Chain A
């Protein structure tokens, strides 16, 4: 993205934020629900992008952490706890479980790690479904209340959309801070060359566990917002297909790119809506579009942009070299 001038980037960012605040004011209930879902899924995908995109640790369990967060929030808020307290518990719980799930990553990598996390995903689903005393089993938990924010009730769709958007804003800032901190650099070192990283004093064990724990905690945040958004949860939305969806959001948007998850979540949440006019064919069209994209650009949508920028930089650099060379020749 370094091809854009800095003020232009800032102006573009502010315009997008303003649009996200102003435009939905005219949206109907359903439109606001979809947009809120985009914000929530962006948070979960950002967590997975941290674990997978930056730190290079494959996980097929992000959906399970959304589930853990959702159940934590649902159980607590239906028992009279305020949502912020539930969010904190969801973060702590998914951080701790994510940390433990990180241990296999110290021994196995790539598709072996994918299988370990996949098994965990199934395990979590079984707990949601079978432990009825806690989770309500297949009947789920209904009448999940929405919070009051600064004394304003968020029962109506628009105020709760702002809760989701505000949370997305806070998470985005935190993740931005994290990836440009030395931690972010150490995560990328895990991805690019763990052997070299170790010899530079980088405690690869601790950073691997941290990458899992923080990524999972963001899944928990997303879940804790998902529960009051839908106001009813059962185990089905948190099965393996949510993990796969989140993985696809990260890959399609561009793994390891900061804005990848926003874009990936937008495509995963909105595209099926836009393709609704095709009726029965929309899933097929969607699948074909994703396949074509990944054949064209395995690094996702932002990968295309990145390649374009790199090509432009190279062109500019060789133009400069040509000028320098011709000057040199004139001098001689």
Chain B
């Protein structure tokens, strides 16, 4: 299996704090990689460096062997890298369907065709399909801001898939989602992973969720990689138990 994403020696400092201090790993085509670690260990900063939301102080990010360090988030998204957010990031005044159309429209045509072409960029069908897939049918025309927290989380995830991404970085998708909805979410993620051959990296604190979803798990602590391996290996690793699992 070839690597979709190769991260080499990424560093990010804020003043004297080394939030990410030389992290290297790769993500294989079609896998679901879990990323765990205590709060403040640099997981989200690492995501933001990979996604161009922060400029790393050092290191390199490669997508399909091409260096993409320093590209803007919108450019990376056009190359097939998508993300979800830890905190709710939907467009509250737009309806659920409009949120999804917006999430996919920049992948259709060019600036000029988006001005003169159809107002939905030809995406109403795809949006409706995504709405059905995430079981949001009854909410399609509601403003996204009126949805419950868990529903907005689902919408946030659905939005990440509208552009047909190859690689999706999910930042705590399970946080604040109730158990029955969580089972749904896991099912959806696995289905998209298999059917669309999309590769995922998932930050998550819910151990059960991570261990059952991911093929490999990477553990971070204090800005560095502490361990990397199959979920059962990682769970038994003494250093990981010491730093994170704790029991």
Using a CB–CB cutoff of 8 Å, the interface residues on chain A facing chain B are 178, 180-183, 185-186, 188-189, 192-193, 195-206
Residues in A with CB closer than 8 Å to B115 are: 178, 181-183
Contact in complex: A201, B85 (CB < 8 Å): no
Contact in complex: A201, B89 (CB < 8 Å): no
How extensive is the interface on chain B, given as a class? 20 to 34
Taking CB as reference atom, which chain B residue is nearest A210? B111
Residues in B with CB closer than 8 Å to A192 are: 91-94
Taking CB as reference atom, which chain B residue is nearest A179? B119
> Which residues of B in the span 85-110 have a Cβ within 8 Å of any Cβ on A?
85, 89-94, 98, 101-103, 105-108
What's the Cα separation between A180 and B117 when bound, in Å?
11
> Shortest Cβ distance from A178 into chain B, in angstroms?
7
What's the Cα separation between A199 and B90 when bound, in Å?
11
What's the Cα separation between A206 and B159 when bound, in Å?
22
* Cβ of B237 under 8 Å from chain A: no
Residues in A with CB closer than 8 Å to B101 are: 182, 185
Given A180-B119, A188-B94, CB of A200 within 8 Å of CB of B103: yes
Q: List 11 A-B contacts (CB under 8 A).
A: A181-B117, A182-B121, A186-B105, A192-B91, A192-B93, A195-B85, A198-B74, A199-B73, A200-B102, A203-B106, A204-B74
What's the Cα separation between A136 and B180 when bound, in Å?
74
Q: Mark B152-176, 1 if CB is under 8 A from A, else 0.
A: 0000000100110000000000000
Chain A interface mostly: helix
Residues in B with CB closer than 8 Å to A200 are: 74, 77, 82, 102-103, 106, 159, 162-163
Looking at A186, A195, A203, the one whose CB has the most chain B CB atoms below 10 A away is: A203
Contact in complex: A201, B77 (CB < 8 Å): yes
> Which residues of B in the span 136-189 have a Cβ within 8 Å of any Cβ on A?
159, 162-163
A182-B115, A197-B74, A201-B78 provided; 15 other pairs, C-beta below 8 A? Answer: A181-B115, A182-B117, A185-B94, A189-B102, A192-B93, A193-B90, A196-B85, A196-B89, A197-B102, A198-B73, A199-B74, A200-B163, A201-B163, A202-B106, A203-B106
* Cβ of B13 under 8 Å from chain A: no
Residues in B with CB closer than 8 Å to A186 are: 102, 105-106
Looking at A192, A196, A206, the one whose CB has the most chain B CB atoms below 10 A away is: A196
* Cβ of B194 under 8 Å from chain A: no
> Shortest Cβ distance from A184 into chain B, in angstroms?
8
> Shortest Cβ distance from B29 into chain A, in angstroms?
22
Residues in A with CB closer than 8 Å to B98 are: 185
What's the Cα separation between A182 and B115 when bound, in Å?
7
* Cβ of B230 under 8 Å from chain A: no
* Cβ of B35 under 8 Å from chain A: no
Residues in A with CB closer than 8 Å to B135 are: none
What's the Cα separation between A206 and B75 when bound, in Å?
12
Contact in complex: B73, A206 (CB < 8 Å): no
What's the Cα separation between A82 and B121 when bound, in Å?
38
* Cβ of B196 under 8 Å from chain A: no
Taking CB as reference atom, which chain A residue is nearest B81? A199
What's the Cα separation between A180 and B91 when bound, in Å?
16
What's the Cα separation between A183 and B108 when bound, in Å?
12
Among candidates A183, A199, A205, residue contacting B83 with C-beta atoms closer than 8 Å: A199
Residues in B with CB closer than 8 Å to A180 are: 119
Residues in A with CB closer than 8 Å to B89 are: 193, 195-196, 199
Among candidates A197, A201, A204, A206, residue contacting B111 with C-beta atoms closer than 8 Å: A206
What's the Cα separation between A14 and B73 when bound, in Å?
45
Given A182-B114, A196-B90, CB of A201 within 8 Å of CB of B102: no
Contact in complex: B74, A202 (CB < 8 Å): yes
Residues in B with CB closer than 8 Å to A199 are: 51, 53, 73-74, 77, 82-83, 85, 89
Residues in A with CB closer than 8 Å to B105 are: 182, 185-186
Given A200-B159, A202-B74, CB of A181 within 8 Å of CB of B94: no
> Shortest Cβ distance from A132 into chain B, in angstroms?
40
What's the Cα separation between A195 and B89 when bound, in Å?
8
What's the Cα separation between A192 and B85 when bound, in Å?
15
Taking CB as reference atom, which chain A residue is nearest B111? A206
Contact in complex: B119, A181 (CB < 8 Å): yes
Residues in A with CB closer than 8 Å to B114 are: 181-183
What's the Cα separation between A192 and B159 when bound, in Å?
15
What's the Cα separation between A140 and B117 when bound, in Å?
44
What's the Cα separation between A201 and B77 when bound, in Å?
5
Q: Mark B59-92, 1 if CB is under 8 A from A, else 0.
A: 0000000000000111001100011010001111
What's the Cα separation between A204 and B74 when bound, in Å?
8
Taking CB as reference atom, which chain A residue is nearest B143? A310
Residues in A with CB closer than 8 Å to B51 are: 199
What's the Cα separation between A195 and B91 when bound, in Å?
11
What's the Cα separation between A128 and B125 when bound, in Å?
53
> Shortest Cβ distance from B24 into chain A, in angstroms?
24
Taking CB as reference atom, which chain A residue is nearest B169? A199
